[in-house]
Amino acid sequence: MTDDLTLRAETAGDEAGIRAVTAAAFDRPEEADLVEALRRDPAWIPALSRVAVSGGRVVAHALLTRCHVGETSALALGPVAVLPEVQRQGLGTLVVEDALREARERGGSAVIVLGHPGYYPRFGFTIASRHGIGVAFDVPDEALMALSLDGAPLPSGTVRYAPPFGV
């Protein structure tokens, strides 16, 4: 990790850097296109698009956007991306922790993530189905996870993502 790392909300000049990080991390443009589509959607919360900046460039990004679990407002985590040349140095953990901290400070209560079941439990995520949370499409049960930010019980129901997710 670099010594000059800054964690902060995305600013107007970060779009190209976020796109580059996301496209490189996923080795395809779809997730970068998703971030750009979410930026234009009512689900977008500017303060919850978090970046790690080093040497003046974006090296990692984590995004939380509005979603619903049943009829209850929640947040969806993703995409999360780190430049390939600095992966496995803790930057993903730092930027996710920063996003979750900011969401907690802003009164967020529940976060949903569809991701690697070996990665997200380190932040406190547990299998969503154990809380009565599901999605309307096929995913491995262990890949859909949920986290309570405030210690309250998680809502139950089907997750409704913002339209740019296409699900």
Which pLDDT value is given to residue 2? 57
Residue 67 near residue 159, CB atoms below 8 Å: yes
- What distance in Å separates the CA atoms of residue 112 and residue 103, rounded to the nearest whole number? 12
- Residue 65 to residues 27, 87, 88, 95: CA-CA distances in angstroms? 22, 24, 25, 15
Which pLDDT value is given to residue 50? 98
Could you read off the pLDDT of 5-18 as tens digits, one per residue?
Answer: 999 999 999 999 99
- What distance in Å separates the CA atoms of residue 10 and residue 1, rounded to the nearest whole number? 20
Q: Cβ neighbours of residue 94 under 8 Å, at least 6 residues apart?
A: 5, 7, 52, 60
Could you read off the pLDDT of 7-54 as tens digits, one per residue?
Answer: 999 999 999 999 999 999 999 999 999 999 999 999 999 999 999 999
DSSP state of 167: -
Backbone phi, then psi, for 36, in 5-degree steps? -65, -40
Query: In terms of CATH architecture, what is 5-165?
Result: 3-Layer(aba) Sandwich (3.40)
Between CA 39 and CA 47, with CA 41 as vertex, the angle to 5 degrees is: 50
* HEC string for 62-114: EEEEEEEECCEEEEEEEEEEECHHHCCCCHHHHHHHHHHHHHHHCCCCEEEEE
Which pLDDT value is given to residue 3? 72
Which pLDDT value is given to residue 167? 86
Residues of the chain predicted below pLDDT 50: none
Average pLDDT, the chain: 96
pTM of the model: 0.95
- What distance in Å separates the CA atoms of residue 115 and residue 72, rounded to the nearest whole number? 21
- What distance in Å separates the CA atoms of residue 121 and residue 39, rounded to the nearest whole number? 27
